[in-house]
């Protein structure tokens, strides 16, 4: 909880807009809370080891948060470890949301196509019918793959599903970025002819 709470100042911009983890200013993360959270996590891991037990779901979630907290930059994040932790969590406490988060970790560790494969498998899941984060993640991965028109449609769909006006604005801004990128690529293709 303390590791998650350590990022609260970085999660929202000056006008209240959400700032996603990838875009957060890590200098705003509360190092005192991170330190206390890492100490608590170490204690939990020591108890699990002493009792010869596998980590429970809360310890796994804390371990994932710790991977983010230990990285000074997004590039330093140990995405392969995070993907492995999500693999363990999905075995111990399976849920569609855990799988969606695992898809992001797989994409970051092994490329967007790997993550998209899992996201596409999750699409028929009834729990995601009106959950805006599935098309948001799908849009992000499609954008990374240069499939801008598909990504734009997914961001627009995600925007239509959220009830939060600031999230909607963020998603629509991402859709506009994809539209611009697609138009720019088309212009470059035409110029090359």
Q: What is the pLDDT of residues 159-191, one digit of tens each?
A: 999 999 999 999 999 999 999 998 888 777 666
Q: What is the pLDDT of residues 24-66, one digit of tens each?
A: 999 999 999 999 999 999 999 999 999 999 999 999 999 999 9
pLDDT reading at 128 higher than 90: yes
CB 10 within 8 A of CB 24: yes
Measured between its terminal Cα atoms, the distance across the chain in Å is 56
Q: What is the pLDDT of residues 130-147, one digit of tens each?
A: 999 999 999 999 999 999
CB 129 within 8 A of CB 120: no
How far apart, in whole angstroms, are the C-alpha atoms of residue 82 and residue 187?
39
How far apart, in whole angstroms, are the C-alpha atoms of residue 150 and residue 1?
36
Q: Give burial (CB, 10 Å; 0-12/13-18/19+) of 105.
A: buried
How far apart, in whole angstroms, are the C-alpha atoms of residue 19 and residue 51?
40
pTM of the model: 0.89
Domain residue ranges of the chain, discontinuous segments joined by + = 1-77
């Amino acid at each position: 909880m303390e590791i998650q709470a350590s990022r609260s100042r970085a999660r929202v911009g000056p006008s209240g807009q959400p700032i996603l983890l990838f875009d957060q200013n890590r200098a705003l993360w509360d190092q005192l809370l991170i330190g206390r959270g890492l100490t608590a996590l170490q204690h939990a891991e020591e108890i699990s080891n002493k009792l010869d037990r596998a980590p429970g779901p809360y310890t796994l979630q804390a371990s994932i948060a710790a991977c983010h907290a230990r990285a000074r930059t997004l590039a330093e994040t140990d995405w392969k470890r995070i993907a492995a932790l999500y693999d363990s969590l999905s075995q111990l406490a399976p849920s569609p949301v855990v799988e969606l988060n695992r898809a992001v970790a797989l994409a970051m560790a092994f490329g967007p196509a790997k993550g998209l494969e899992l996201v596409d498998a999750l699409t028929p899941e009834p729990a995601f019918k009106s959950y805006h984060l599935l098309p948001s993640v799908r849009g992000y991965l499609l954008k990374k793959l240069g499939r801008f028109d598909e990504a734009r449609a997914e961001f627009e769909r995600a925007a239509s599903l959220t009830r939060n006006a600031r999230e909607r604005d963020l998603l629509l801004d991402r859709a506009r970025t994809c539209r611009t990128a697609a138009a720019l690529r088309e212009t470059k293709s035409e110029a090359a002819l």
